[in-house]
Amino acid sequence: MPAKYHIESGPVPGRFQPITRSGVIAWEEGCLRCAKCVKKECVYKVYEKRSLDTSQMLDSLDSACQDCFRCVQNCPGRLINKGMNPAYTAMGNKYWTPDIISNIWFQAETGRIPVSGAGYGGAFSGFGFDSMWTDMSEIVRPTRDGIHGREYINTSVDIGRKIMNLEFDGKGDVSSPVYPLVELPLPVIFDLLPWSPPAQQIRVATLRAAKRLGTMVLIPESQWIPKYEPYLPQTVLYMDRGVRGLQKEVAEAVRFVEIPDGPRALQRQAAFKEKNPSIVVAIRVEMGPKASARVLELTKAGTEVVHLRAGEKGIEKGRDRVFIKDRMKEIHLHLVDSGVRDAVTIIAGGGVAMAEHMAKLIICGADAVTCDIPTLVAMECRICKRCSQGISCPVHLESIDPAWGAARICNLMAGWHNQLLEVLGAMGIREVRRLRGEMGRAMFFEDLEKEFAALGKRG
Amino acid sequence: MTSMAGRANGFVFPEIKRARTRFRNPLMKYQIAIGPECDNCGFCIDLCPYRVYTKGSKRPRVTDGHFCLGPSCEKNSFSCITRCPRSAITVRPNPSFELLGDRRWTADLLASTWHMAETGAIPHTDLNYKTGGSGGGFDKLSFVYPKDDRKNPTEGISTSLELNRTGDGRPRVAIPLPFYLGGMSFGSVSIVSMLSRVRAATALDTFCCTGEGGYPDELKPYDDHVITQVATGLFGVSEETIQRVRIVEFKYAQGAKPGLGGHLLGDKVTPPVARMREAVAGSALFSPFPFHSVYSVEDHKKHVDWIKAVNPKALVSVKVSTPTDVDMVAVGSFFAGAHIIQLDGSYGGTGAAPDIAKKNIAMPIEYAVPKVHRFLSAEGLRNHITIIASGGIRTAYDAAKIIALGADGVCLGTADLVALECIRCHHCESGRGCARGIATTDEELTGLMGLEWGTQRIVNMYLAWRKQLVSILSRLGMRSISELVGRTDVLTHLDYMSEKEVKGELD
């Protein structure tokens, strides 16, 4: 299989034992010392393989137990119980739930996608990305080949300004401008981190991962250090100060920069293009009620890439806050109605926590997404956010081995890539570029639910 | 109860026989502790009407603690907690119980299903056996019963369902309950699980589907109650198996992994499974998606015609998932000549599927059924095809609700496994398979369950379901399940209507 269609993955054990959902509570008092103890009958042999990790004081029993409850149900003295682990339920927050965190850990450790039996066990629907479903193909609109078919499914995207139609001069030569493009094999870019412990090692790990994956990482220009030099092709330089501070060598070698939106954004964009026409320039725009008009304005003014940002829970700032997927739909459709959607590349991010969020945000109109917190979680972050208050990181993210971190991030992305293939395969779409804006191939809670809202109210 | 309708062709519903848990201790919502103060007077043993205690040598034994009403029993005259002469008994919530189940199948739903499978009765305890905790769909829908409904008679209410409504001259096939049992292949579940389901279907005069994994010889005595499945992998499909049965099912897609093929992991492909599927032991088996011989509705008709030619007496069922254009799929199937269209919603069960597929791809069955029902009604076709809903039907109440939304009947799978004491640990797919001996082909684990026990548990559960269906119909003033089809006016959704606004009684 050609490299661009596949991400290598393999087991990368964590440095710490994961925090598990539940624990085994086994009493010794009252034990009858049965000749054939139920603990010896464990299908998974968790009692036989039991060990204590003294550095963390964690019992291997809790992470190995698969919750079959056979010992609980068979112990004659009823001495074995299971209990919820309060450390698990305390992880993260309402958006970055313990289940999402452990789902990311699993992928980062194994490189595999989460597979399970016995159907779906979650909520009917929920906030944000959980209020939409993706489509599939069947009989009247069949896919040519499923996921295990003979054709490859392409997940690459081009970032940059697109030519809407070719123009020719009197001599028949092409007179249209040729815009620079950055091609990414996966529609994911690693964004600035909202918080982290001192980030040098974390950045090197992320850059290394980006190099292997063929994607890019946003690095604030103010925090640029020569250590990142080997990874310039993987760097999207975020111009958080003026152009002036930029070293000449860096300005010449970098191929993608991003500038914050502001009154002078278009002039700054022009200044960069003048310095180096082969550079791709993105403008970072905060999502909000005015974003739609602003993106159209920028697009008409020739902007190549717009990077739309929502908060870390996918919600924009200010009053009347809208979730990222809903604002994305509005912005995309506004550009479509104005006839310029294809000219500009839109990258969107904020609250992208799972592979399905990537697929759904693309369906709502993004060309590619950005991912931030999941890269930290891949390296065992527990989203305790103590670092944002200057307290030391419980899993020492500041001193990770970049090679290890990169392998964990690559595993996570291998999982996301494979899950994106599942969604595309089910829809019968062979290119992620064709997924963009395919809202007719998605189902939204607010539309489907109309029927139920009317129930019982007629007469 | 046996005098009720559904006795067409002289059929009589089987008897309920108690089938206790296979394990030493039932999983209980409450923990009962008898302290050292106890002098073994035995008062509690006679006091408890639910027979929670039996005689013990030093103290009474808590043998059926799952029948205990919990701390709320204190208000009753028969409360052992308040009436124990030595005040030796304490009852409190069981911490392990909190860990059971998930949002869809809550601990209460699991325990109430076990209760029904053990006793054939509706739980007398405070277990919520009607809804789960998913926060939407079935769990927010409720029937609205007219007040003073309880006077309506339950005698003579029919729960039977006719499967062939096309009038095409093929046999008419009526089942006494509005459901049959869905496909679970040999390989994904053990032969004991498979036979328990088929035998229960036979006892209830309904059907059980083989799934895509061949037609084991052990099923032959029950041919008249077997639906054989033709799916994309064509594992174990032959003309001979198609000719054996009264219903053949085409599986185009499966709700839990729509647009993706079936997947049996290598560990579960033991030599007998491999033989049945004409495959190699130890290597994972994928069913491709889709049928590469079907790229249009015309191709689909060719498929249906093929089955009809091979077995001139068979009814054809078409199992599909729920894409946005599910109504078009249904009408296409009708014109291709299907007798039954089975709509499989996205939250249903499966041996193994990517979590991303189960959660996100295709729509929940609660949305798909009314869409199809309305479309087929508008086309004037609704009375000529049978709509079966599946994929997330957990309880008798779910079944009744989806019928009120427009299905004729339902198809079940996960509920059967729960009756067999599945705990929904979600590890069916890994290694030797199910640790509780249900979804496994490992010889030792398969031996954890007996055939008589398995059959009886499923029979008991569905007899308890029948009582609930009859009760719902009688409260609504209906005389047959077919009257309920499409009656969305008897439902309300609790997110959009407050209890005060409801003119009638809720579930």
Q: Does A1 map to a domain?
A: no
Write phi, then psi, for A236 (nearest 5 degrees).
-105, 110
Judge whether A69 and B423 are in contact, CB under 8 Å.
yes
Asked whether residue A57 falls in the same domain as residue A162, the answer is: no
Q: Do A122 and B134 touch (CB under 8 A)?
A: yes
**Among the partner residues B325, B425, B488, nearest to A140 by beta-carbon distance:** B325
A246 falls within a domain: yes
- With beta carbons under 8 A apart, name residues in chain A contacting B361: 133-136, 422-423, 426
Tell me, yes or no, whether A226 lies in a domain: yes
Residue B278 has pLDDT above 90, yes or no: no
pTM (whole model) above 0.80? yes
In B272-311, the residues whose Cβ lies within 8 Å of chain A are 286, 288-290, 294-297, 300
Q: Are B22 and B13 in contact (CB under 8 A)?
A: no
B77 shares its domain with B213 = no
Q: Taking a contact as any Cβ pair under 8 Å apart, which residues of chain B between 304 and 333 contact chain A?
A: 320-321, 323-326, 328-329, 332-333
At which of B75, B98, B121 does a domain end? B98
Asked if residue B111 is part of any domain, the answer here is no
From A70, A90, A110, give the residue that closes a domain: A90
Distance from CA of B122 to the nearest CA of A (A): 23
Indicate the pairing of strand B53-54 with strand B141-145: unpaired
B479 and B370 both lie in a single domain: yes
**B92, B171: one domain:** no
The H or E element that residue B233 is part of is none
Both B342 and B262 in one domain: the answer is yes
| pLDDT of B348 | 87
Domain CATH code at residue B423: 3.20.20.70
- What domain range includes position B211? 161-491
DSSP B155: T
Within a domain: A338: yes
Q: What gap in Å lies between CA B497 and CA A454, rounded to an integer?
A: 9
Q: Please tell me the least confidently modeled range out of B280-294, B421-435, B490-504.
A: B280-294
Cβ contact, residue pair A68, B423, below 8 Å? yes
pLDDT of residue A149: 63
Is residue A103, in this structure, part of any structural domain at all?
A: no
Q: How far apart are CA B399 and CA B412, in angstroms?
A: 9
Answer yes or no: do B68 and B178 share one domain.
Answer: no
How many angstroms away from the CA of B43 is the closest CA of chain A?
A: 23
Residue A120 lies in a domain: no
Cα distance between residue B210 and residue B193, in whole Å: 12
Are both B464 and B391 inside the same structural domain?
A: yes
Is A456 contained in some domain? no
* Residue B207 pLDDT grade (very low, low, confident, very high; cuts 50, 70, 90): very high
More confident residue, B286 or B24: B24
Q: Both B56 and B200 in a single domain? A: no
Question: Does any domain span residue B106?
Answer: no
**A272 and A387 part of one domain:** yes
Tell me whether residue B3 is in a domain.
Answer: no
The alpha-carbon gap from A325 to the nearest alpha carbon of chain B, in Å, equals: 15
Compute the mean pLDDT over every residue in chain B, rounded to the nearest whole number: 92
Per-residue pLDDT band at B260 (split at 50, 70, 90): confident
User: Coil, strand or helix: which one is A350?
Assistant: coil
Per-residue pLDDT, averaged over B40-68, amounts to 96
First-to-last C-alpha distance (Å) of chain A: 62
Structure confidence at residue B6 (pLDDT): 41
Pair (A417, A276) in one structural domain: yes
Task: Single out the residue in B98, B119, B152 at which a domain terminates.
Answer: B98
Residue A95 within any structural domain of the chain: no
Q: Which residue(s) pair with B390 in the sheet?
A: B344
Is residue B12 a part of any domain in this protein? no
Q: How far apart are CA B298 and CA B305, in angstroms?
A: 11
Q: Do B360 and B250 fall into the same domain?
A: yes
Nearest Cα residue in chain B from A440: B324
B:224-263 residues touching chain A, CB 8 A cutoff: 252-253, 256, 258-261
Q: In chain B, what residues touch A137 (CB-CB under 8 Å)? A: 259, 290, 323
Assess if residue B499 is contained within a domain.
Answer: no
CB pairs under 8 A between A and B: 279
- Claim to verify: residue A83 and residue A227 sit in the same structural domain: no
For B:36-95, CB contacts with A below 8 A are 94-95
pLDDT over threshold 50, residue B48: yes
Q: Which of B61, B66, B355 to mutate to test binding with chain A, by most A CBs within 10 Å of its CB?
A: B355
Q: Do β-strands B89-93 and B141-145 pair in parallel, antiparallel, or remain unpaired?
A: unpaired
Whether residues B141 and A455 touch (CB distance < 8 A) is answered with: yes
Strand ranges in B215-296 using DSSP code E only, listed in sequence order: 226-231, 247-251, 263-264, 285-286
- Which string of b and e fits A390-425 if b means at least 16 CB within 10 Å? eeebebebeebebeebbbbbbbbbbbbbbbbbbbbb
Range of the domain at A219: 157-448
> What Rg do the C-alpha atoms of chain B give, in angstroms?
23
Same domain, B86 and B183: no
- B377 in contact with chain A, both atoms CB, cutoff 8 A: no
Question: CA A191 to CA A235: how far, in whole Å?
Answer: 11
Please give the angle made by the CA atoms of B206, B212 and B217, to the nearest 5 degrees.
Answer: 70
Q: How far is CA A230 from CA A253, A260, A375, B450, in A?
A: 11, 25, 20, 65
Round to whole Å and give the CA distance between B95 and B28.
10
* Residue where a domain terminates, one of A90, A106, A141: A90
Structure tokens at B205: 């005069």
* Residues B311, B189 share a domain: yes
What is the rounded average pLDDT of the residues B386-404? Answer: 97
Structure tokens at B476: 């609504």
B96 touching A, CB under 8 A?
yes
pLDDT of residue A80: 94
**What is the pLDDT, as a whole number, of residue A92?**
96
Are residues A136 and B367, on separate chains, in Cβ contact within 8 Å?
A: no
**β-bridge mates for residue B353, sequence order:** A116
pLDDT confidence of residue A1:
58
**What value does the mean pLDDT take over residues B97-120?**
96
For the segment B44-57, the average pLDDT, to the nearest whole number, is 96
Domain boundary residue among A36, A70, A90? A90
- How many domains in chain B? 2
Q: For chain A, how big is the Rg over CA atoms in Å? A: 25
Between A22, A124, A140, which is nearest B134 by CB?
A124
Whether residue B151 is contained in a domain is answered as no
Q: Give mean pLDDT, residues B254-272.
A: 80
The last residue of one of the domains, among B98, B128, B146, is B98
Q: How many domains does chain A have?
A: 2
If asked whether residues A184 and A57 sit together in one domain, one would say no
Higher pLDDT, B257 or A127: A127
Chain A residue numbers touching B342 (CB-CB < 8 A): none
Q: Do residue B201 and residue B282 come from a single domain?
A: yes
CA distance A172 to A158: 27
What is the DSSP code (8-state) at residue B395?
Answer: S
Name residues whose C-beta falls within 8 Å of residue B180's C-beta, 6 or more positions apart in sequence.
B201, B206, B207, B208, B209, B227, B388, B409, B411, B412
pLDDT tens per residue across span B71-95 = 999 999 999 999 999 999 999 999 8
Find chain A residues with C-beta within 8 A of B358's C-beta.
Answer: 116, 119-120
CA distances from B349 to A103, A418, B12, B15, B392 (A): 20, 22, 31, 28, 7
Supply the pLDDT for residue B296.
83
Instruction: Report the SS3 class of residue A326.
Output: helix
Which stretch, A173-182, B8-17, B173-182, has highest mean pLDDT?
A: B173-182
Does B335 contact chain A (CB < 8 Å)? no
- Chain B positions in Cβ-Cβ contact with residue A142 (cut-off 8 Å): 290, 294-296
Looking at the domain assignment, is residue B407 inside a domain? yes
CATH number at residue A371: 3.20.20.70
Tokens 């006091």 correspond to B47
Reported as a pLDDT band with limits 50, 70 and 90, residue B429 is confident
Residues of chain B found within 8 Å of residue A88, distances taken between Cβ atoms:
none
- Pick from B24, B63, B92, B99 the residue to mutate for testing the A interface (most A CBs within 10 Å): B99
Task: Give the whole-angstrom CA distance, residue A159 versus residue A155.
Answer: 13
Distance from B64 to chain A by nearest Cα, in Å? Answer: 13
The CATH number that applies at residue B82 is: 3.30.70.20
In chain A, what residues touch B326 (CB-CB under 8 Å)?
138
Gap between the Cα atoms of B96 and B426, Å rounded = 17
Residue B1 pLDDT > 60, yes or no?
no
Q: For chain B, positions 166-225, list CB contacts with chain A under 8 A.
A: none
Residue B146 inside a domain? The answer is no
Chain A interface, mutation test: which of B103, B257, B343, B356, most A Cβ atoms within 10 Å? B356
A61: tokens are: 């029993």
- The CATH code of the domain that includes A30 is 3.30.70.20
- Kindly state whether residues A76 and A221 are assigned to the same domain: no
| Residue among B102, B137, B432 minimizing CB distance to A122 | B102
Which of B252, B326, B427 has its CB closest to that of A66?
B427
Quick one: B85 and B167 in the same domain?
no
Q: Over its length of 459 residues, how does chain A's per-residue pLDDT go in tens digits?
A: 566 678 999 999 999 988 999 999 888 888 989 999 999 999 999 998 888 887 777 788 888 899 999 999 999 999 999 999 999 999 999 999 999 999 999 999 999 999 988 889 999 999 999 999 999 988 776 666 666 666 788 999 999 999 988 999 999 999 998 899 999 999 999 999 999 999 999 999 999 999 999 999 999 999 999 999 999 999 999 998 866 666 777 878 899 999 999 999 999 999 889 888 999 999 999 999 999 999 999 999 999 999 999 999 999 988 889 999 999 999 999 999 999 999 999 999 999 999 999 999 999 999 999 999 999 999 999 999 999 999 999 999 999 999 999 999 999 999 999 999 999 988 988 899 999 999 999 999 999 999 888 886 654
Give the residue from B24, B109, B342, B361 with the most A CB atoms within 10 Å of its CB, the best one to mutate: B361
